[in-house]
Amino acid sequence: MTVLSLTACSSDKDAEIILSGTTWENSNDNGKATLSFQKTTFALEGSYDYNKDGEFETIIQSEGTYEIENTTIHLTANGFNVDCQIDNNTIVFPETEYTNAIVFYRK
């Protein structure tokens, strides 16, 4: 009698995205922002000087929760939701009516 056995070593965990403990940064000539993740929460901090007078016109400080679904990160903070895309070493915040897409890079 011949017995054929097939096994697989792969699992969904192999493709799981782990953000806890990671820090991401977006910087340009106007300033920079840092996005950091904990187990189920995130913190976003940034300072931008758009008119280059040495004073920050926009200061961002926000904390919230997140969930990951495939390559989409669902961020929720202060009653607002945003769906970002993650691809290896980048997280992309989508373009809105107020801003272009924002790319964060893993530190």
Contacting residues for 2 by C-beta, under 8 A, at least 6 apart? none
* Per-residue pLDDT tens digits for 63-103: 999 999 999 999 999 999 999 999 989 999 999 998 899 99
Pairwise CA distance, residues 85 & 15, whole Å: 15
* Per-residue pLDDT tens digits for 2-18: 444 334 444 444 467 89
Q: Are 77 and 62 in contact (CB under 8 A)?
A: yes
Query: What one-character DSSP code corresponds to residue 16?
Result: -
- Of 2.20.25.90, 2.40.40.20, 2.40.128.360, 3.40.190.10, which CATH number belongs to 18-106? 2.40.128.360
Query: Integer distance in angstroms from the first to the last C-alpha of the chain?
Result: 57
Q: What is the DSSP string of 89-101?
A: TEEEEPP-SSS--
Pairwise CA distance, residues 40 & 58, whole Å: 26
